[in-house]
Structure 1
């Protein structure tokens, strides 16, 4: 009886190993450009330089178990590839992560909502996408990460992202967006990171970011923004990083950022900044990193830094500043790095504008070079 039990257990173990150990086909059976790996929850398939859609679909069908991760890259030779064609493959119903990188997706061939109910991560960057139907993302209710960067999109509208209630990260970097209508992002109420850098945004509508109450990071760098309306960012109570690098902003009026009470890092470098008021950074009580480098600033107003008691890094290099108020930095007890290189300052007082005291923490000084 005991021997029979041992045989039965061995038989069951062999069956289990057969089910979970042979999910991937033999490498020789796959296309030369595809690799397959067994994962904790299914199978991961990665293909590069695929020449034809039929080759990709054939590789997908050879996989025995559910495919949970799919990566297709560097395959611009595939013609008229539509995302809808992937729905023909039954073992993609458990898909959780999909990356289609440099594939040249034909959005006209994908007019219906994608039916991947468990998809959490979707990266379709660098595909020459000009537009996509608002309904395309309609069934992706579990999506938390969406990357549409490095495409040729000229517009996004309210409705594009409305159904993505769990979306946390949206990357629209390096497209051709010049305007974003009000309420475009009101759907993804859990959005924490929004990347809009390297576009052509000029005028920001007052309700452009309405609904983004838990946003933590906003990248607006390398656009052509001239003015940042105070009401535009007033709802960002949890914002920690704001990147405005390389825009056309010449002035920061007082209290512009006063509602951003949790802001940790502010980048306004590479603009045409000429004017600051004593209240330009008022309310930024928890700011630790401030970058004002590469602007046209000629002076720093007295009191500008008074409320920045948590500031650790200050960069005002590559400006036209000739001198600064004597006690400009007297309240910067946490400052560890100061950069005033390539300015017109020819003399720095011994206490460095009130910074150097027995209690100061400054570690790195980059002064006149």
Structure 2
């Protein structure tokens, strides 16, 4: 009898689906046993439905109340479709349900109270829907619940129902309209590792949640400052605050010794004062730091000399689009693990450190739109040691005051495959014949300089070039015939 109940329930579920462009449900008929229908998994012993997987199938319709008759169901996966209407309260008749995945649909109305009867639930994901109202207090009785994702809905009110979920590890609440304060008891969530919030940042964040390992609020509308108490979350290894409207200064982070990932870019941090970047001193203790992004802010000071004492594991350092001035500290070449270094659109002066070649893992160096120049015009300002950066794919030094000649070592970096942009400087001399080694390069721009001499015929070896810009220089001679043989060349300006 139970088997027949499951079969009839599945057919009722099918009846609520009005569009099935991929013909997922074409197998749902009496020609084969329902346990062989696409998306259906049955247990071996009782031949009852234990999993229903209809995720990402472009289905349109609603969730049938008959779902509640699949009493052996453990997993329900319906994410990334166009199911609308409500979550039927009959879902509370699934005592064995462990995974409930309904994200990225068109589901509205409230979270049904009856979900609290699914005592074995471990994972709930209702994100990116149109749910309204408050989170039911009854949800707090789900003692096994470890992961809850209800971000990007229209939920409001208190988040207090979650304070009783002693097994909770990951909680995603952002892009809703919840109250902006932590309820009493939130500090009892000892297993909580990941918390994504919506609203403003409470001053006692680090005191209330000292065991956080990941804190992410990127891409929201948070205002105000970063709470000083964040330094109390000593287990934190990822702190993602980028793309908000945070202001003022970044607090001391010296106690975050486990930090691997810090992104505070695209905010309004900084006050244009000399100690704007002092928090970098405090990151020296984070010996496993791999990713540091402070770009697109209002930091207006010199780069601390101590930046060279950051972790040798640092792979990305982004200081771009600020009002940072002064010279690039020579010690930056100690960050031998760097793969990407972004300092573009600032007011940096002085020279590129001569030891830059020590950064042999660099694949992108972007210093465009600064005021870099130097004192020694005879040797020039682009250090030949850049040639040692044998993994470089992008090198952007345009829109500076660089003068002198282009080192042959720089145009000999055969790994350059995406960009080499030296335009809008005051570089002089000829374009080195060694440019022939740029056989993988797609974009070469040396325009708007003081270069002279003949355009080297060896450019004909650069068979991957798609864009070549040589204009606004003092090259002489005729247009090289090899240009017509560069098949991939989409545009060139002489």
Task: Compare CA radii of gyration and give the structure with the larger one.
Answer: 2
- Report the RMSD for the aligned CA atoms in angstroms: 3.3
The answer to whether the 8 Å contact 1:24/1:43 transfers is no
Structure 2 residue 172 is matched with structure 1 residue 171? yes
Deviation at 1:273, TM superposition (A): 2.5
Q: How does 1:77-92 map to 2 (within 5 A)?
A: 78=85, 81=86, 84-87=89-92, 89=93, 92=94
Unaligned runs of 5+ in 2: 18-24, 26-37, 45-49, 369-397, 399-494
Correspondences of 1:150-161 after superposition (within 5 Å)? 150-157=152-159, 159-161=160-162
* Alignment-derived partner of residue 74 in structure 2: 68
Residues 19 and 75 (structure 1 numbering): CA distance in 2 closer, same or farther, change over 3 Å? closer
Note the 1:228-239 alignment, pairs <5 A: 228-231=226-229, 233-239=230-236
- Does the CA-based 8 Å contact 2:42-2:51 persist in structure 1? yes
Q: 1:131 to 1:307 in 2, by over 3 A?
A: farther
Which whole-Å deviations, capped at 9, do the CAs of 1:25-56 have from their partners, x for residues lacking one?
Answer: 697664262765115682325495435x6xx1
1:295 aligns with 2:318: no
The 1:322–1:331 alpha-carbon spacing in structure 2 relative to 1, beyond 3 Å, is same
For residues 113 and 27 of structure 1, what CA distance do their matches in structure 2 show? 20
Per-residue deviation, 1:258: 1.1
Of 11, 15, 29, the match for 1:31: 15
Structure 1: tracts of 5 or more residues without a match: 1-17
Q: Which residue of 1 aligns with 2:439?
A: none
- Cα 1:85/1:172, change in 2 over 3 Å: same
2:97 & 2:182 partners in 1: Cα distance?
A: 32
Please state if 1:321 is matched with 2:324: yes
1:324 offset after TM fit, Å? 2.9
Q: Deviations along 1:65-110, whole A, 9 cap, x unmatched?
A: 611122455333x3xx4654322x4xx2111111234321334xx4
2:164 & 2:183 partners in 1: Cα distance? 17
SS at match of 2:90: helix
Report deviation, 1:270. Answer: 0.8
1:272 counterpart residue number: 268
Compared with structure 1, are the counterparts of its residues 147 and 27 closer, same or farther at alpha carbon in structure 2 (3 Å cutoff)?
Answer: closer
Relative contact order: is structure 1 or structure 2 higher (C-alpha 8 Å, sep ≥ 6)?
A: 1
Q: Is the 8 A contact 1:142 1:164 kept in 2?
A: yes
- Inter-partner Cα distance in structure 2 for 1:106 and 1:273: 38
Residue 334 of structure 1, CA deviation? 2.1
Whether the 8 Å CA contact 2:41–2:51 is kept in 1: the answer is yes
Question: Aligned ranges for residues 321-340 of structure 1 at < 5 Å?
Answer: 321-340=324-343
Pick aligned residue for 2:134 from 109, 125, 131: 131
**Match for residue 180 of structure 1?**
181
Report the Cα distance in structure 2 between the residues aligned to 1:301 and 1:98, rounded to whole angstroms.
49
- 1:8 aligned residue: none
1:245 deviation in Å?
Answer: 0.8
Distance 1:82 1:328 in 2: 58
CA shift digits 1:183-240 (9 cap, x unpaired): 46324321121112xx331x52315762441x22111222323212222x23322211
Contact 2:317 2:342 in 1 (8 A): yes
Whether contact under 8 Å (1:302, 1:325) holds in the other structure is: no
Deviates more, 1:166-175 or 1:331-340: 331-340
Q: CA deviation at 1:174?
A: 1.3
Question: For structure 1, which segment, 243-252 or 135-144, has the greater mean C-alpha deviation from structure 2 after superposition?
Answer: 243-252
Residue 245 in structure 1 maps to residue 242 in structure 2: yes
Q: Retained in 1: the 8 A contact 2:328–2:351?
A: no
Once residues 46 and 210 of structure 1 are traced to their aligned partners in structure 2, the CA distance between those partners, rounded to angstroms, is 39
Question: Is contact 1:161–1:184 with CA below 8 Å preserved after alignment?
Answer: no
Aligned pair count reads: 328
SS in 1 for 2:163: coil
Partner of 1:206 in structure 2?
Answer: 204
- Label 1:229 to 1:264 Cα distance change in 2 as closer, same or farther (>3 A): same
Higher helix fraction: Structure 1 or Structure 2?
2
Contact 1:182 1:205 (C-alpha < 8 Å) held by counterparts: no
Q: Which moved more, 1:283-292 or 1:326-335?
A: 326-335
TM superposition score normalised by structure 1? 0.76
Contact 2:250 2:270 in 1 (8 A): no
Kindly tell me: are residues 164 and 39 of structure 1, through their superposed partners in 2, closer, same or farther at Cα, counting changes over 3 Å? farther
Contact 1:182 1:206 survives alignment (8 Å): no
